[in-house]
Amino acid sequence: MAPMIDVALLRDEPEVLKASLQRRALDIDVDALVEMDGRRRAVRTRAESLRAEQRQSGKKIAKLQGDEKQAAIAVVAQVSEDYKAALAEADELDARFDRIWMTIPNPVHESVPFGHSDEDNIEVKTWGDIPDFGFEPKDHMDLGQALGIIDVERDADRVALRIDGDVHDHGNRVRGRREYESGHDDSGEHEQSQCILPRTAPVPASRRPEVRSR
């Protein structure tokens, strides 16, 4: 799971979160998230309360007798069912909340301007002198290709060949392993099948069995 921002921001400063999302041009219903967060916390608290009641009632039942004990057992059984239902609802609400909350990015600084692209950025400061080359400078890709040290098509072909070779080699290994395990080649004849045996580490001399003749 991706890291999430502190949920305290939603609980304590929902308006700050709203403003941040608006600056990022994200359409997320913060009010609905606030309501969902309150609901999941309330249900979780109720589940924990029912669990505590179940434990306390279990201790009291041990001291009861006869019909009174049977009645208490029936009550505890109902409390147990209510606890399971509340726990399941709390877990579902947590999962629904997390799926939305984990997608929310960190809040932007208040000085960040509203915008949709780099063109909307505001220049804060500059330093140094911007050189005047007298011509339009090229980026590193254009320079590399002009100097012959970068060849995009050649490198792409190499990557494709490497991937194809890895897939072919993997297919040979899988096919060889299957033939080794089954003892049959592709024609169905027994033995005489070519296969690639698994690699094994050499046995150190100190561990090799010693053979003595009588």
14-23 helix and 30-61 helix, angle to the nearest 10 degrees: 140
Q: Above 90 in pLDDT, residue 45? A: yes
CB 28 within 8 A of CB 100: yes
Q: Is the residue at 195 inside a domain?
A: yes
- With residues binned 3-state (H G I as helix, E B as strand, rest as coil), the percentages for the chain, rounded to 5, are 60, 0, 40
* Of 49, 72, 101, the domain-final residue: 101
Lowest pLDDT segment from 16-30, 34-48, 120-134, 147-161: 147-161
Asked whether residue 176 is assigned to any structural domain, the reply reads yes
Q: Tell me: do 76 and 160 sit in the same domain.
A: no
Asked if the structure places residue 120 within a domain, the reply is no
Domain at 30, CATH number: 1.10.287.40
Write out the residue range of the structural domain in which residue 182 sits.
140-199
Domain assignment present for residue 15? The answer is yes
- The amino acid at residue 118 is D
Q: Is residue 177 part of a domain?
A: yes
In a domain, 115, yes or no: no
The two three-digit tokens of residue 21, written as one number: 């999302």
The reply to whether 29 and 82 lie within a common domain is yes
Query: Residues 97, 101, 104, CA angle at the centre, nearest 5°?
Result: 160
Q: State whether 60 and 144 are in the same domain.
A: no
Domain-embedded: residue 34:
yes
> Residue 214 domain-assigned?
no
Number of domains in the chain: 2
Per-residue pLDDT tens over the stretch 162-213: 655 555 555 555 555 555 555 544 444 444 444 444 554 454 554 545 545 4
